[in-house]
Amino acid sequence: MRANCWYGKTVVSVEDVPDPQILNQQDAIVKITSTAICGSDLHLYNGFVPTMQRGDILGHEFMGEVVEVGRQVRNLQVGDRVVVPFPIACGKCFFCKDQMFSLCENSNPNAWMAEKMFGHAPAGIFGYSHMTGGYAGGQAEYARVPFADVGPIKVPNHLSDEQVLFLSDIFPTGYMGAEMCNIKPGDTIAIWGCGPVGQFSIRSAFLLGAERVIAIDEVPERLRMAEEGGAETINYREQNVYEALMDKTGGRGPDSCIDDVGMEAHGPAVIFAYDRIKQAMMSETDRPHALREAIMCCRNGGTISVIGVYGGFIDKFPIGSVMNRALTIKTGQAHVQRYMRPLLEMIENGDIDPSFVITHRMSLDDAPRAYDMFKKKEDNCIKVVLKPDWKNGAGAKDDNDTVIH
């Protein structure tokens, strides 16, 4: 089959690789109909995540049709149309029983690597380094999906791929980012990062009862999309974020802040340069500018929700601000399995149509170009969906464009 493989920093290539097979009794094989590139894939692409190996298949946002199931699979049948959550979870361990699926104890065979890095290991993740299991990812024609009874969710045929695909990651992730803020009616929520996850945090915050959402980014088209979602915006290239937020909230600060950025934050030149140099010299692995700023801006007693991905260590962390002002920090890889069903219901009810975030649709064979474009934010690129069954070069900017095969 064709699959998008990682070969080093900013090098990916679509290769012919062996087809996946059932390895465990609870596996299913899914023929992928739609797969997306995630902002967190850029951390792999840019070489910031350790334990990658040449030939690793990328991709953890995918959906498709079940073409084979293992003997122990009860809930799925060949022919079912499913969306696959990015964390792999067994459903039986202490954490799965407690709905903390991204912390599953049994799905990461390389847990020892993560234990060395983090002290304890998170769950396995599709196509996301060997530290999270070394599973082949979903930017491919087929994928092996372990624990098929626990993860994949069947989706009704009247919803298009584009409406349900993001149940795999960015919609639940953005939603959990907002949910961790414990939003009360009337709250003002500030959101750093208006990438796809940030866009879903904005809409989720409103769905959860926020009165005002203030979104922070520098990319005009992302800010425009945030405004379309009802948010006020701050362009940090044009305004001082702290001053702008204090101005908007009468000096008290937002009730909660969401870090939808993660380890590769950009910011004002001097601070960015400081963190970028430290990162390059390996004296900090992550650039935490957005997180620092979110902490300083949050109102006393507020919540910092960290849903953007961090991988290692950061520097100049304002713990004094956190402690003296009674802030709460909540974090985690999204427990996607927990959110898929309620969020699918929201989609069915018409509360939200997640396809709004898509800007590019391309063939799987175009993955290298898509990564480059997404990284450089060229052509107003916000979210790319890859189609394994499209021929090379076929692409359309939206549903109405004619797709030339």
Partner 1 sequence: MATNEQTGRFGEGDASSTNDFEHRSSRSGGANYSVERARPGLPSTSAKRLAKGLGWFSLGLGLAELLAPRAIANISGVSNKHTGLIRLYGLREIGSGIAIFSQKKPTEAVWSRVAGDAVDLVSLGVAASNPNAKLGRVAFATANVLAVTALDVMCAMQLSNGANHGIHARGTCVVNLPPEEVYSFWRDFENLPRFMRHLESVNDLGDGRSHWKAKGPAGMEVEWEATIIADVPGEVITWRSLEGADVDNAGAVRFERAAGGRGTIVRVNIEYNPIGGVIGAAVAKLFGEEPEQQLDDDLRRFKQVMEVGEVVVSDATLLGTGYMKQRPGQPAAASELEGADTVPSQTATNYASERRSTQL
Q: In the complex, which residues of this chain contact partner 1 (CB under 8 A)?
A: 1, 3, 5, 17-26, 29, 31, 53-57, 67-68, 70-72, 78, 90, 92-94, 97, 105-107, 109-112, 115, 124, 127, 130, 133-137, 141-142, 144, 146-147
Nearer to partner 1 by Cβ, of 19 and 398: the residue is 19
Minimum distance, C-beta of residue 85 to partner 1, in the bound complex (Å): 16
> Which DSSP string do the residues of 75-122 spell out, in sequence order?
S--TT-EEEE-SEE--SSSHHHHTT-GGG-SSS-TTHHHHHHHHSS--
Nearer to partner 1 by Cβ, of 95 and 175: the residue is 95
- Whether the CB-CB separation of 217 and 236 falls below 8 Å is answered with yes
Nearer to partner 1 by Cβ, of 127 and 302: the residue is 127
Minimum distance, C-beta of residue 133 to partner 1, in the bound complex (Å): 5
Instruction: State how far Cα 267 lies from the chain centre.
Output: 21
Rounded to whole angstroms, the Cα distance separating 148 from 150 reads 5
Kindly give the pairing relationship between strand 142-145 and strand 153-154. unpaired
Rounded to whole angstroms, the Cα distance separating 99 from 93 reads 10
Nearer to partner 1 by Cβ, of 9 and 397: the residue is 9
Alpha helices in 281-363 (DSSP H): 289-297, 319-324, 336-349
Helix (H, G, I), strand (E, B) or coil at 158: coil
Nearer to partner 1 by Cβ, of 128 and 166: the residue is 128
Question: What torsion, rounded to 10 degrees, do the Cα atoms 340, 343, 347, 353 define?
Answer: -100
- Whether the CB-CB separation of 130 and 144 falls below 8 Å is answered with no
Minimum distance, C-beta of residue 341 to partner 1, in the bound complex (Å): 22
- Whether the CB-CB separation of 370 and 37 falls below 8 Å is answered with yes
Nearer to partner 1 by Cβ, of 43 and 222: the residue is 43
Minimum distance, C-beta of residue 54 to partner 1, in the bound complex (Å): 6
The closest of 356, 6, 324, 304 to 162, measured between CA atoms, is 356
Q: Hey, what amino acid is at 143? A: A
Q: Hey, what amino acid is at 201? A: S
Nearer to partner 1 by Cβ, of 24 and 324: the residue is 24
Name every residue whose Cβ is closer than 8 Å to that of residue 123 and which is 6 or more positions away in sequence: 87, 88, 89, 95, 101, 102, 103, 104, 107, 108, 132, 133, 333
- Whether the CB-CB separation of 273 and 298 falls below 8 Å is answered with no
Nearer to partner 1 by Cβ, of 120 and 237: the residue is 120
Minimum distance, C-beta of residue 56 to partner 1, in the bound complex (Å): 4
Minimum distance, C-beta of residue 282 to partner 1, in the bound complex (Å): 20
Minimum distance, C-beta of residue 264 to partner 1, in the bound complex (Å): 22
Q: What is the DSSP letter of 264?
A: B
Minimum distance, C-beta of residue 6 to partner 1, in the bound complex (Å): 9
Minimum distance, C-beta of residue 88 to partner 1, in the bound complex (Å): 9
Q: Estimate the share of the chain in helix, then strand, then coil, as percent rounded to the nearest 5.
A: 35, 20, 45
Nearer to partner 1 by Cβ, of 206 and 371: the residue is 371
Helix (H, G, I), strand (E, B) or coil at 89: coil
